[in-house]
Every structure is written in C-alpha cells, then in structure tokens.
Structure 1
Amino acid sequence: MKPAKLGGGRSSVEAVLGFALGAVGGCILGATEIPVDRVLSELTAAGPLKPIMEEVSTVGPLGLGTLLGATALSAAMTSAVAGVILAAIVALLFVASRSCLPSHADSAGLWVSAGLAGALGATLSGATLGITIEWIVRTFGMVGLLCALSVFTVLKPLQYLVFKQLWVEGRCCTLGSTVWAGDREQNEISEAQQRQREAELMEQRILTLEKGGEDDGAELKSKWEAEHQQREERERKRREIEEAEMEQRTIQDWINTVVVKHVDFLAFSGIPMTVIAVVTSGFGLFGYGVHQSVFIVLLALVAVIAYLLMRSSDFKFWMLVGCMGMIATFVIAMLTLHAGQVVVSTAMKMRAAGQEQSRENVSARMNQQSSVEALNAAVFVSRLCQLSLGATVGGALVRRRLGEVKVIVGAASVAGGLLVGVEVLGTVLGEGGRAGALLGVVGAAGVSVGAAAAMAGGWSSWLGTLGTIAGLIIGALGVGRWHIVNIGLQVPAAYVFAMTNPF
C-alpha cells in the first residue's frame, strides 16, 4: 500500500508532506492532553473523590482498582464502538440511497457525514456513560457500580445476537438494490423499444423494395446511425449501472464486516475484565480485600483466562483487546495496592523517626492515595484504549485508499471542534460527563493519528516514513506541553493498532 502520489514520489517531497500530515495528527493528540488532565484533577479533588474513598474498605484496594479499571475500559470500548456503528449506519444509508454518485469512494458527503456521525456518537455515548457512572458511584457506591457493570456485561451478548441477526439479514440496506433494479428495468424497456423501432425500419424498407419503390439510402442510413448511437449510449449506461452497483455492493460488504466485527468486539471483550473485577471485589466484600490470597487468585485468573483466549484456534480481535484490557485492569489493581502500601511505609519511617501518627489518619491517607491512583490509572488506560481503537479505524480507512489527507485532516478538524464544544458545555456535563466526552474526542483524534501512522508505513522511501513519525511525535509533544511519558506510551500504542487489521 502506498499513499496517494501527492508529492510525485520524490523522497524529499514525501518527507515534507509526511511531516506536515504527521504534525496534524500529533497536534490534535497533544491538544487532548491538557483538557483530560484538567478533568482528572477535578475528579481527584476532595468532593468527587469522597464516595470512592469511603468504598476502599468495602471492596479492598485490589477490588477498587479492578472495578474502576474494568468500568473505565468498558465505557471507552462502548463509546468507541457506538461511534463506529453510527458512522457505518450513516455511510450505509448514503450508499444505499446513491446520494454519493458518481463515485462512492470520492464522495465528500459520504465520508464527512459518516465521520461527523461517528465522532458525535462516540462523544455523546462517552458523556452519557460518564454521567451514569458518576451517578451510580455517588448513589450506590462501589457495590452498585459492580452490579451495574455485571448486568451491562451480561446484557451485551444478548444485544449482540439480536443486532447481528437484524444486520446480517440486510433488513436495513435493501434500498440500494431496489433503486438499481428500477434502473435496470428502465434500461431493459428502452432496449426493447429500440429493437422494435429497428424491426419497424427493416420492415418498412422491405415493403418499399417489394412495392418497387425507391430506396432512400441516405435517410435510412441516418436513421440507422441514430439508432446505433442510442444503442451505444444504452450499453454505456448499462455498464455504468453494473459498475456502480458493484462498487456499492463492495462498500456495503466492507461496512457490514466492520460493524459485525465491532459488535462482536463490544459483546465479548469486556467479559475477562468483568470477571476479574467481580472476583476481586467479591473477596473485598467478604473481608479479604487486603489479604494476600486475593492477589494470588487475581494473578491466577489473569493467567488462565489469557491462556484460554490466546490458544483459541479461531483467534479474533476481541480476544486480543480483551486480554490487553484484562492485563491493564490487573496493572491498575497493582498500582492501587502499591499506593496504599507506600503510605504505610512512609508512616512506619515517620514512626521510627519519632513522629507518631494515629491509625485513623494513616488509614484515611491510604484510602485517599489508593483512590487517586486508581482513578489516575483508570483514566489513562481508558484514554489509551480509546486512542488505540480510533487508530485502528484510521489505519483501516487509509488501507481502503480513501485518501490520507482527507482522513487525517478531517478527523483532526472534527476532534478539534468537539474539543471546543466539550469545553464550552463543561459545566452542564459535570466531571463524569466531561471525562466520558473527552474520551470520545480522544477516539476521534486517534483516527487522525492512526491514519498518519498507517501512512508512515506506506511511503516508498524511508525519508517519508521518518518525516511522518517525526511530525507525529513533535506535534504531540509540542502541543501537549511535553508530556513525554503519556505521549511516549500513546504514540507507539496508536501505531501498533493502526497497523493491525481486525477486519
């Protein structure tokens, strides 16, 4: 796969063009850093953090980490898939109604509408889930969040079966076939009428010759030429109909594949994370939240589930992301536990130095530090997940040869507009709603980053590849105020997922 030859194939032009487009993707990625950090600071403030701190002793630090991690990742995956499905539905309606003729691939209306729908769908879905999660935590605590996550995970496979049946049966995409059938029927009627006119001309000539009349060769020749031109015109129209219908069918098949894969991913990828969260939170509810046995069971569960998924003969994309999400949840739990142990170690050192502290004070600081670490890790991992899923879509669009410039610049523009909108509506959305909406914006930025990463791998020269990667990194670091650790983890993850083809 090679990017469009916008620079004539010369290495220097490829490097300059790659750097410019990479910088666009990097800049929009960096632009999301400050708003996400700001809303994270608000979430870890005393007020919003209090309901979580009160629940650390209920589910234990490991349970808190796995529960917040699984919830954040499930929300990120759900909002990303919601955006993809909404974009696919809009694109399918455009294609089925033939609103994007003469060429589906080059239609601005098709891809602009689909891109806007996808970005808005991901952002609105993320905001809704964020508000819902915040309300559940404030009202019912971690136990309520555990129940909600479990019910949500159980219902997703059922929704998957219903949606897949309706989608695969093609009940929502029959309009295009009906329209094409009408065009074919009209063309066949025209051909039949022409054959009748030609037969009448031939019959008229035969009758004229039989009656001994003079054959007007010039007039007859002109009529035959006119009929011949009409026949060629109808043949050309017939070929255009067949080619357009084939192109429409190809796009519909690809959209169907993307939707089925993403629904499959949404239904099953959250199961490993939820199992881990339920088991560790269950230990915490029964009073074993800080017992070493919880860590042993957690580690064993992660190893067994990962082994069973990875050794599957029919390995699928959801299994890969499910394993990664489960391992990320395990890491969040470890960080949460470690944060509390750091407080204990600090208190022991202070006691050895003669600075006595009450048990209540140490316990409160343990709960606070564990809660802050759990939220920080959960938000970062969910942001990384959202970015990676967006990069998967961006890479797939580039491989479909839909135009690197259109995908990179278009996705960056949409993400920038949504970023401004979320900032303006911040007071209405609240902390949870803003966090979820910003994750949706990160997904839209991920499309631009993924497209740039896929383009970097497709240049004909190393200068083009290096220029694109340099632009991506410099743009992300420069606009993101040199958050080297965060961006240093996000860019490689986006590159890996952009080069992955789950479809």
Structure 2
Amino acid sequence: MGFALGAVGGCILGATEDPVDKILSVMTSSGPLKPVMAEVRAVGALGLGTLMGFTALTTSVTSVIAGVILAALTASVFVALKSCNVSYKNSFGLWVSAGIAGTLGTTLSGATFGRATEWIVKNYGMVGVLGVLSLFTALKPPLHVLFEVCWNCRETCFNVSSEVRSRERKQIENTEWQQRKRATVKIEKSILSIEKGGDTRGMDDRTKWITEQREREEIERRKTENEEAEMEERSIQDWINTVVVKYVEFLAFSGIPMTAVAIVTSAFGLFGYGNHQSVFLVLLVLVSGIAYFLLKSTDFKFWMLVGCMGMFATFLIAMLTLHAGQEVVASAMRMRKAGRNQSRETISTQMNYQSSLEAVNAAFFAAKLCQLGLGATVGGTLVRRAAGEVKVIVGAALVTGVLLAGMEALSPVLGDAGTAGAMLGVVGAAGVSVGATLASAARWSSQPGTLGTIGGVIIGALGMGKWHMVNIGLQLPVAYMFAMLNPF
C-alpha cells in the first residue's frame, strides 16, 4: 500500500519534468531572451539575477496563495450549504470541490501573472517589474487587514446552515416536548384510574410502551447527531479560518525581505555598479542582517522562515547570474593566452547572453521549487488533518494529470509566458500529492511501510521523470521539508 501511494505521488512529480523542460527551452530561446539581455546592461548581472528571482518567487507565492484562498472559500461555502447529517471529514464532495477550486485558482493565476509579467518586461523592462512588485509589496499589508475584515464578515452571507440547524433543533425540542406531554397525560390518567379503583390493564400494553421507548431513542439520536454535526462544522470552519489567516499573512509579509534586496541591488545596478564585487559584499551584509533579524524574532512565524528562504534563493540566483558572466571573461582570457583574441563587443555580448540565460534558468527552477514546496505544505497539512491519505494523494495526482493533458491544447491561447505560469501551477498541484505522500510515509507505524512509500516516490519520480536525477534529487528533499512543516 505504501509503495503504491508513493509511486502515485512520485510518478505525477516526474510527469511534470518534460513539460516544464519544454516551456523552459522556449523561454530561453533567442527571441524571448532579448528583453532580458537588454536589462543586463541596465542593472548589471547582480541586479538582473535579483530581479528575476524576486519576480519569479513573488508571482509563484501569490498564485499558490490565490489557489489556497479559493479552495478555502469553496470549502467554506460547501460546509455552510451542506446537510447537517453528512460527515464533513469523510465527505467526498468537500475535498473534491476544494481541490479542484484550489488547483484551478493556482493555475489560472499563474498564467495571468505570467502574461502580465511578459507585457511589463516588453514595455517597461525589469525596472518596471520592480516598480510594480514593490508597489504590490507595499499594498499587501493593508490589503491583508482588509481581507481579514471581509473574510470575517462572510459568515453573515453563509448563515443558511445555522438557520437549518436552528430549525431542526427547535423541531427536535418540540417533538421531545410533545412526547413528554403525552407521557405525563398517560401517567395522570393511570393515577386517576388507580384512585377510582378502575381497571389498569390498559397500562400494561407493551406495544405502546415499546413505541414510546423507540420515539424517545429516536429523539435522543437526532439530538446527538445534530450536536455532533454542529460541532464538526464549527471545527472545520475554524480550521479553514486558521488556514486562510496564516496564508494571507504569509502572502502579505514574506515578500518584504526579497523586495528590500531587489531594490538595493537594482539601485546599484542603475548607477553602473551592477557587476562590481563591492555590490556583492553589500548584498551579502544586507541578506545576513535581514535573516538575523527575522530568525532572532521572539514571535517566529511561518512567513519569516519562508521569507528568509526566498531571500536566500534570490541571493543565490544573483550569484549564479554574476558567475555566468565571469565564466565568459575567464574563457576569453584563456583563449587570449592561446593566441585567439576576441573583441570587447563579442565578449560583452556573450556575457550578457550567458548571464540572461542563467538568470532565467535559475529563477524558473527556484519558482518551481517554491510551487512544489508550498504545494507539499498543503498536502502534508491535509494528511495530518486526517483528510485521508488516499483521497489527497490520488485526487491531487488525477487533477494534475488532467491539467497536464490540457496544457497542450491551451498553450496557443496562453502564450509562452502564460503557459510557463500555468505549468508552475501544475507543479504546485503535483506538490500537494507529493507532500501528502511524504507526510503519510512518516505516519506509518512500521518501518517497511515508511521505506516502501519513500521507495515508491523515488522510483516513480525518476522513472516518469526520465531519470533526471539532479532535478528530482533537489526537488524531493525540498518537498519533504515543506511537507513536514506545520505553518499553523
């Protein structure tokens, strides 16, 4: 059983490798790469790497949170409108509706952000993207407060369930009162009959007493079911509220560290210091200072951890972008020693190309890891919530498979950037299945179950991923780490 579940989660992760590689190869072709190459001259290699990482991670986080909020809203409506006699924890419709809504929300928002980013880059460059995302980062905290107010007010719109429960509670109380009244009348008649010395054989009619006993038991059963359903509804609504509050808080504040790093690095690049080693030192000090301040916080929260991870990922992308350009210079120096000189224009063009190529590749891979990790967080949380390992793993895998099949038909409509954003959303859906699988592996009471599940994930991912050992080898530890996180 563990191996089968692991194979399902691993296979759906491996199935995303080839489509992601195809869209990445399209994005790194000469045409789409030209606007990015122009930005290297404006902000330098460090600035370009920071901006690419900042853009990719911010859009990925936003699309995932959009999916989570849509899924939570759908689940909340489902619970509010559902009959009180249904167990929400075991309700198939609840998890299916929430899962489909969340996946579609993530995928469609990813496609929208991809198209919007492409349009901004073509018309205003990466500096325009920096301005838009910086404004978005500044607006997120007040929007976070506004969203919480609107979310808390939604209960007035979803009061159908409480009205149904109130009517049923009154009906049960009325039935119980009538049953007690009938019993009281019978007792009074029996007492009067005894006092008058009448015949009391009518009281010994067992059929009547059995019928009344069944009525009392039925009333007690209905009352118990109504109370349990009400408690279960309140429990799942409270959990949905916790999820939404935490993830909206994560969206509102996790991008602040990356925004600070991107603004400082881009400012140096705009003044012509984008390739200087001094900028690297300033960037390193800035990243270390922000990370130290956040990690030393007494009230440490989920957004602080992931915000630091995103900031370090942005820093790493900037380093890889700078290193790619320096490799071109080192290669030109070796060629010069061998007697083959290159013009300065040729070296500069190659530097810009390699830096742009590395920035796009690294940013896209970081965004993929971000989507996978956040999806794994959702999957792991659902398993720990006892939503059902099989339902979460297989359901997320089926939805991901359907989206992968639909990407071929939708790619002409979405365009390259839109398809890339939608594909990252698909990776997030696959991350839900993988995270649920890895979380279930830790819940096995026996070692063979744990090893079988992990073995199924690895074999399935490598087999379906055409043995991309480096990519899969980096993604699985990230998925496991996020699946084990408890953001609540």
TM-score (norm 1): 0.94
Q: Distance in 2 between matches of 1:368 and 1:385?
A: 26
Q: Please point out which of 356, 359, 362 is paired with 1:377.
A: 362
- Structure 1 residue 219: Cα displacement: 6.9
Q: Distance in 1 between matches of 2:83 and 2:180?
A: 33
Asked if 1:437 is matched to 2:437, the reply is no
- Structure 1 residue 351: Cα displacement: 2.1
Asked if 1:149 is matched to 2:150, the reply is no
Q: Distance in 2 between matches of 1:353 and 1:47?
A: 33
Aligned to 1:7: none
Asked if 1:82 is matched to 2:90, the reply is no
What SS does the corresponding residue of 1:79 show, helix, strand or coil?
Answer: helix
1:438-477, aligned counterparts within 5 Å? 438-477=423-462
The answer to whether the 8 Å contact 1:100/1:110 transfers is: no
1:296-445, aligned counterparts within 5 Å? 296-445=281-430
- Structure 1 residue 229: Cα displacement: 2.0
Q: Distance in 2 between matches of 1:239 and 1:134?
A: 57
What SS does the corresponding residue of 1:425 show, helix, strand or coil?
Answer: helix
> Deviation per CA, 1:241-286, whole angstroms, max 9, x where unpaired?
1111111111111111111111111111111111111110111112
Q: Distance in 1 between matches of 2:328 and 2:157?
A: 57
Asked if 1:233 is matched to 2:218, the reply is yes
What SS does the corresponding residue of 2:340 show, helix, strand or coil?
Answer: coil
- Structure 1 residue 212: Cα displacement: 5.8
Q: Distance in 1 between matches of 2:196 and 2:446?
A: 78
Asked if 1:287 is matched to 2:263, the reply is no
1:160-239, aligned counterparts within 5 Å? 160-168=144-152, 170-208=155-193, 213-218=198-203, 222-239=207-224
Percent identity of paired positions between Structure 1 and Structure 2 = 65
The amino acid across from 1:134 in the alignment is E
What SS does the corresponding residue of 1:460 show, helix, strand or coil?
Answer: coil
Q: Distance in 2 between matches of 1:400 and 1:423?
A: 35
The answer to whether the 8 Å contact 1:340/1:370 transfers is: yes
Comparing 42-51 with 167-176, greater Cα deviation is found at 167-176
Aligned to 1:56: 40
Q: Distance in 1 between matches of 2:84 and 2:338?
A: 75
Q: Distance in 1 between matches of 2:430 and 2:121?
A: 29
The answer to whether the 8 Å contact 1:32/1:480 transfers is: yes
The amino acid across from 1:80 in the alignment is V
The amino acid across from 1:73 in the alignment is L
Q: Distance in 2 between matches of 1:401 and 1:80?
A: 22
**Are residues 375 and 171 of structure 1, via their aligned partners in 2, closer, same or farther at CA, if it must alter by over 3 Å?**
farther
> Deviation per CA, 1:107-148, whole angstroms, max 9, x where unpaired?
111111111111111111111111111111111111111111
Aligned-residue RMSD, C-alpha: 1.6
The amino acid across from 1:166 in the alignment is C
The amino acid across from 1:130 in the alignment is G
The amino acid across from 1:114 in the alignment is A
The answer to whether the 8 Å contact 1:180/1:241 transfers is: yes
The amino acid across from 1:359 in the alignment is R
Asked if 1:115 is matched to 2:99, the reply is yes
- Structure 1 residue 206: Cα displacement: 4.5
Q: Distance in 2 between matches of 1:101 and 1:273?
A: 48
Asked if 1:257 is matched to 2:242, the reply is yes
Q: Distance in 1 between matches of 2:56 and 2:480?
A: 22
The answer to whether the 8 Å contact 1:94/1:100 transfers is: no
Q: Distance in 2 between matches of 1:153 and 1:200?
A: 72
The amino acid across from 2:33 in the alignment is L
Comparing 143-152 with 162-171, greater Cα deviation is found at 162-171
The answer to whether the 8 Å contact 1:95/1:104 transfers is: yes
- Structure 1 residue 342: Cα displacement: 0.8
Structure 2 residues without counterparts, runs of 5 or longer: none
Aligned to 1:8: none
TM-score (norm 2): 0.96
Q: Distance in 2 between matches of 1:358 and 1:164?
A: 59
The answer to whether the 8 Å contact 2:190/2:203 transfers is: no
Aligned to 1:9: none
Q: Distance in 1 between matches of 2:195 and 2:390?
A: 70
Aligned to 1:70: 54
What SS does the corresponding residue of 1:115 show, helix, strand or coil?
Answer: helix
- Structure 1 residue 165: Cα displacement: 2.2
Q: Distance in 1 between matches of 2:83 and 2:200?
A: 50
Structure 1 residues without counterparts, runs of 5 or longer: 1-16
> Deviation per CA, 1:25-66, whole angstroms, max 9, x where unpaired?
111001111111111111111111111111111111111101
Aligned to 1:26: 10
Q: Distance in 2 between matches of 1:356 and 1:65?
A: 29
What SS does the corresponding residue of 1:154 show, helix, strand or coil?
Answer: helix
The amino acid across from 1:270 in the alignment is G
> Deviation per CA, 1:269-313, whole angstroms, max 9, x where unpaired?
111111111110111112221222211111111000000000001
Q: Distance in 2 between matches of 1:202 and 1:458?
A: 58
Q: Distance in 2 between matches of 1:20 and 1:164?
A: 41
The amino acid across from 2:148 in the alignment is K
Q: Distance in 1 between matches of 2:344 and 2:84?
A: 69
Aligned to 1:493: 478
The answer to whether the 8 Å contact 1:101/1:107 transfers is: no
Aligned to 2:258: 273
The answer to whether the 8 Å contact 2:84/2:165 transfers is: no
The answer to whether the 8 Å contact 2:84/2:229 transfers is: no
- Structure 1 residue 213: Cα displacement: 4.6
**Are residues 172 and 399 of structure 1, via their aligned partners in 2, closer, same or farther at CA, if it must alter by over 3 Å?**
farther
Aligned to 1:91: 75
- Structure 1 residue 444: Cα displacement: 0.6
